[in-house]
Amino acid sequence: MLKIAVIGGRETVMGFKALGLETRPAANADEARRILHTLARSEEDYAIIYVEETFAADGDMAREIARYKDLPKPAVILIPGREGPLGLGQQALQEAVERAVGSDIL
């Protein structure tokens, strides 16, 4: 059975836990990067891994996320944190659509 996980600050992920998703709180971007790597390489089958945008802004974390952008799974999707959106998730979505369609339709 495919799983869904959420990586982010404790305050961000707790709402997802109430929805029944697996949550992995992280204190900083380095810890979030290690968690993402572990989940993506896990024997458990993660279809989607949501990552808080504030962690994705870190260079090492951005490179880790980029490793999975062309793979069918896990789909790594950026979500806003408690502080609100940084625009990284929207930018990633726009780039994915451009790759798929061949032009900017958003």
pLDDT surpasses 60 at 44:
yes
The pLDDT value recorded for residue 85 is: 62
Q: Is residue 106 part of a domain?
A: no
pTM beyond cutoff 0.85: no
Nearest by Cα to 49 from 99, 84, 2, 98: 2
User: What does the alpha-carbon distance between residue 73 and residue 54 come to, in Å, rounded to a whole number?
Assistant: 22
Q: What is the total count of domains within the chain?
A: 1
CA atoms within 13 A on the CB side of 83: 8
Q: Tell me: the pLDDT tens digits for 49-102?
A: 999 988 988 888 888 888 888 788 888 888 887 776 665 655 655 555 555 556
Is 32 domain-assigned? yes
At 32, which CATH number? 3.40.50.10580
The whole domain housing 34 covers 3-101
Whole-number pLDDT of residue 26: 95
Domain membership flag for residue 61: yes
